[in-house]
Amino acid sequence: MARPKNTPEIKEESTKTGKTVYKVSRVVNGRQIRKSFKSHAEAETFLDSLIQEEARIENKAKIRLTRLSEEELRSAENACELLRSEGHGVTLFDAAKFYTGNFQEELVPVTFQEIEMDFRNEHKSKWKERVRRDYKNLLHRLKNYFRNKKLHQIKADDLLEFIESGSDEPLEDKTWNNYKGSFNRIFDWAASEDRRYCKQPTPASKLPFYKVYYGAPEVLEVDQARDLMAFAEEFRGGEIANIIALMLFAGIRPGIEQGEIFKLCLVRTERRHLDVKTGRIYLSQKIAKTSRERTILMRPNLKEWLTAYSFATYPPFPDSLPEEKKLEWLNYRVKKFRERCPVKLGHDVLRHSFSTYRAVGETTLIHYLDEAGHSEEIARAHYLGRATEEEAKAFWSISPKKK
């Protein structure tokens, strides 16, 4: 049977010297072309160039390097033919630009009220109670503010106005960033392919994000610490004086939901965690914020506070309550304490004060770092050298009036 005319062929042959060569033979435009190569790859490259040349001559096609696939090339050629046949003088790029600028994705019109339960139910198993409560409150505000407005109609300026409407005072950069993070989570969820309640980029993605610079931590002066603990004895008859003492004189992290104080209160009856007689506080990995266990040795004045206001007589919450209710119980009392306290209390000021006065006189930092749970870099940057020995002595002598 005769071989088809001009079948692409690469032949492998041996020369008289024993070397292997690869010969290409091809007729292009009536002209026989033959060439030998040392490698098969070089022969294939040359053969491809001959085939492309033949296609250009026979079909008058232009050979160009392109990143488009075969399917994309065919689509582009068909689109160009269609544009030429219409006679508008529009290029394929012009058509694509017009389309992307005017295309409206088919969106599902919903309000915040309509998505609230689906959004919260999908995330409730992944979030802690505090986060669930924060999103519940935020969505409640969003529902009341935007009412029947659909998500896809909301712009970035609308969200900015919503944020500003919630406070008479200028918001800190960190608060703005918190809003942006919450909005990103809600709108990214709403813009997902299986929902299409709004389109990407979402209005939340267009909100500003501010870089937050943290200065030296706020620390209570000795007189402020003394006034604080005097108020702790007065507040509800000393109801949470032991809690305040642990945060100020042992550096237990505050923040009821995420802090260490609530977790420590849950295990307060276990002597390995809290033992006034031996003066030892042990925070396991489950209690410590950084999952790095640490042991704190009580100073004499802290022992006095925990003796005068023992947990047996002044429990942080009724033990009969479920854990969630215990958290609410303690959270409410600490919140009211902060509101009524004559000393202004920032979030971590009690722990910052402990760390500052605890660092006085330390040279090796070994014991200090173990008790405070800081890195050496943080200790040197924020706490060392901020208080004198006289101030530290006065701080550690603050004792309860009740004996």
212 residue type, one letter: V
From residue 62, give the alpha-carbon distance in Å to each of 72, 79, 87, 152. Answer: 16, 17, 23, 46
Q: What is the mean pLDDT of residues 8-20?
A: 81
Lowest mean pLDDT among 13-17, 186-190, 296-300: 13-17
Question: In the prediction, which pLDDT does 393 show?
Answer: 94
Residue 282 to residue 308: CA distance in whole angstroms: 21
Share of the chain above pLDDT 70, in %: 86
Tokens 């489950």 belong to 286
Share of the chain above pLDDT 90, in %: 44
Label residue 87 left, alpha or beta by phi (over 0 means left) and psi (-120 to 50 means alpha): left
Residues in the chain: 403
Contact 331, 256 (CB under 8 A): yes
- In this structure, what is the dihedral angle of CA atoms 245, 249, 251, 252, given to the nearest 10 degrees? -30
Question: In the prediction, which pLDDT does 106 show?
Answer: 83
Residue 30 to residue 396: CA distance in whole angstroms: 103
Cβ-proximal residues to 127 (8 Å cutoff; 6+ apart), any chain: 135
Query: Using only C-alpha atoms, what is the Rg of the chain?
Result: 37
β-sheet with 31-37: strand ranges across: 9-14, 20-28, 31-37
Could you tell me the pLDDT band of residue 48, with boundaries at 50, 70 and 90?
A: confident
Could you tell me the pLDDT band of residue 3, with boundaries at 50, 70 and 90?
A: very low
pTM of the model: 0.51
